[in-house]
Amino acid sequence: MVNAAHMTSRPKTYFLQEAIERGFSAIANRLDPEQSMRPYFLLRLQPEPKLEHHIWDLGDMCSRFTDAYLLGRPVTGSADYAEEEKALLSMLDECDPFLNPFMAGRMLIAYVDQYLDSPTAERKEVVEKLAAAVRENLRHEGDYSYWFRHAEGWNTMDNAVFGDFNPYPTFPLGGIMLALARFTESADAPDCEDLLDRMGRFVLNVSGTFTEEGHYQGHTHSGGILTAAVAIMRRALRTKDEQTVQRMRTVFDWTMRYSSSWGWIPDGVGPDNASCESCSITDAIHLGLLIARNIDPGYYAVLERFARNQLLENQFIHTDPMLTKADPVQKPRFERALYGSWASWSKPGSLDNCTDSVEGCCLGAGVRACFLVWDDIVTKADNVVSVNMALSRNSDWVEVISYQPYEGKLELVVHDAPIMRIRVPDWVDFEDVSVSVDDAVQSLQIAADGYIRLEGLQPGQLVQLVYPMIAVDKVERVSGQDYKVRWRGDTVISVTPSGHIYPLFKREWMNQPSAPAVQGIPYAEQRGGRVHW
């Protein structure tokens, strides 16, 4: 059983939870108290800092910030900013979903969140009413529906546009499809299913977005391409459409050809010298997790690298480099709005191209991405609990205590997991892994999928995996530039070249051989909520 030492402290490795808490604060500080807490879409940094209202404040920001608070609270247990969340919810109901067609999708996602959290008839009706309004605004031909379409023969591989997301037929559809894909997995809503399938047929067969092989070019998130791919994948998994499942898997693999192994995802697949929008990281993580959960668990290694690295590094934790021209009196206000926000543009080694402004959409998306990863660290299916990623969190079945990137050690406190599968890091030689249960070394084999299996576990037992940390230097070409990357396990310690204004991956502090400790059990009560994506 768990000894006393394991009841008093934990390694300080709760990176996702801490990132969400910073995001919560940034959201609260991007609301305008003089306009009933209306969100500011834009934090302008140059030529002088100021918070600006835009068309995207309402249907987009209200939705994303509502989504962030609803998803993030089960992860952190935070009760802060309840009044801000209440104000956002109230404002959300007054938003015009068709001020820009993109708004309808984001609003639907927020309403689906609310339904999943409390699946009442009233909340179901809210989703269905908005879906019906979307149907009225779409055009319908044959067996498909769309907002707009190009002339026959248009395709992204030959006609991709960069710097403008409006030319993409998926731009207004991606969020709508994602919301309805998740909603129809949990609610009996035949009209919503029909609308979802009609949009899906348009994207796949008519729009010119993807080739038959699943290739594309253009804006991954702002053009709605990856968002639509996530929705199509969810629907194809549910309907057991294997051909479409494999096509969407190829979409993810194709995206990885233009991305970095540490999770830098271009919002502009095709040209070199692209930039990464945090929203694109979120879409890629969502699509990758669907593949890992349903097709190939080996993809969890990819997603864990994304989460440990670019997702966290894209969050602003240093404000001075970006606020050099701020008035000293006003500077604290902008610092509070910037700290905890996620970057709208980044290079693989810096945020030097994010000095002009920061958009609020990436803040909401960053919190969502942290939630998506956190929710998949531990899963349960067919009475088997699987520990898929070595990131710290608690759950109803097992508490996951990770010592990475400092030490190669994973501890699991059993709550209710008689049968447990544990993924061994893909950078570790299997023969170097030691597994024990209550200090009794286990003799076992690692399966072809990279998991070990333990049976007969009892509540209170402590499972330990110990393996060596491996530091390696690699050179990787990303978006036309060679980068020297130092890895410690699956954590990036440094990337060279880095920036001059806001360099990323200055993580020398992660090289220490033992994990810093924090007293108590952080986030002990956060074992999961009712909302899952």
Query: What gap in Å lies between CA 65 and CA 26, rounded to an integer?
Result: 10
> How is 199-246 classified by DSSP, letter by letter?
HHHHHHHTS--S-TTS---B-SSTTSHHHHHHHHHHHHHHHT-HHHHH
Where b means 16+ CB within 10 Å and e means fewer, 259-275 reads bbbbbbbbbbbeeeebb
> How is 63-118 classified by DSSP, letter by letter?
HHHHHHHHHHHHHH---TTHHHHHHHHHHHTT--TTSSHHHHHHHHHHHHHHHHHS
Going residue by residue through the chain, which has 533 residues, state the pLDDT in tens, using 9 for 90 and above: 665 556 689 999 999 999 999 999 999 999 999 999 999 999 999 999 999 999 999 999 999 999 999 999 999 999 999 999 999 999 999 999 999 999 999 999 999 999 999 999 999 999 999 999 999 999 999 999 999 999 999 999 999 999 999 999 999 999 999 999 999 999 999 999 999 999 999 999 999 999 999 999 999 999 999 999 999 999 999 999 999 999 999 999 999 999 999 999 999 999 999 999 999 999 999 999 999 999 999 999 999 999 999 999 999 999 999 999 899 999 999 999 999 999 999 999 999 999 999 999 999 999 999 999 999 999 999 999 999 999 999 999 999 999 999 999 999 999 999 999 999 999 999 999 999 999 999 988 888 899 999 999 999 999 999 999 999 999 999 999 999 999 999 999 999 999 999 999 999 999 999 999 999 999 999 999 999 99
Is residue 315 within 8 Å of 340, Cβ to Cβ? yes
Query: What gap in Å lies between CA 397 and CA 463, rounded to an integer?
Result: 13
Query: What gap in Å lies between CA 382 and CA 385, rounded to an integer?
Result: 8
> How is 242-261 classified by DSSP, letter by letter?
HHHHHHHHHHHHHHHHTS-T
Query: What gap in Å lies between CA 319 and CA 321, rounded to an integer?
Result: 6
Rg (CA), the chain: 23
**Tokens standing for residue 399:** 């508490």
pLDDT of residue 5: 52
> Which candidate, 335, 61, 396, 18, places its Cα nearest to that of 10?
18
Where b means 16+ CB within 10 Å and e means fewer, 105-142 reads bbbbbbbbbbbbbeeeeebbebbbebbeebbeebeeee
Q: Of all helices (H) and strands (E), which one includes residue 130?
A: helix 121-137
Pair type for strands 471-478 and 481-488: antiparallel
CB-based contacts of 438, cutoff 8 Å, min separation 6? 1, 461, 462
Question: What do you get for the CA distance between the two ends of the chain, in Å?
Answer: 34
The values of phi and psi at residue 226, to 5°, are -70, -35
Neighbours of 15 (CB within 10 A): 20
What sign results for the dihedral spanned by CA atoms 204, 206, 212, 214? Answer: negative
Q: Of all helices (H) and strands (E), which one includes residue 436?
A: strand 434-437
Is residue 501 within 8 Å of 324, Cβ to Cβ? no
> Which candidate, 313, 302, 262, 260, places its Cα nearest to that of 477?
260
pLDDT of residue 447: 87
Is residue 99 within 8 Å of 143, Cβ to Cβ? no
Q: How many CA atoms, within 13 angstroms, populate the side-chain half-sphere of residue 201?
A: 11
For 492-500, which contacts have Cβ atoms below 8 Å and span 24 or more sequence positions?
492/262, 492/308, 492/309, 493/405, 495/262, 495/348, 495/349, 496/349, 497/349, 498/349, 498/350, 499/347, 499/349, 499/350, 499/351, 499/352, 500/350, 500/352
Q: What are the C-alpha distances in Å from 133 to residues 39, 55, 106, 254?
A: 25, 20, 14, 34
> Which candidate, 206, 259, 203, 267, places its Cα nearest to that of 236?
203
Query: What gap in Å lies between CA 81 and CA 66, rounded to an integer?
Result: 11
pTM: 0.97
CB-based contacts of 223, cutoff 8 Å, min separation 6? 165, 167, 168, 170, 171
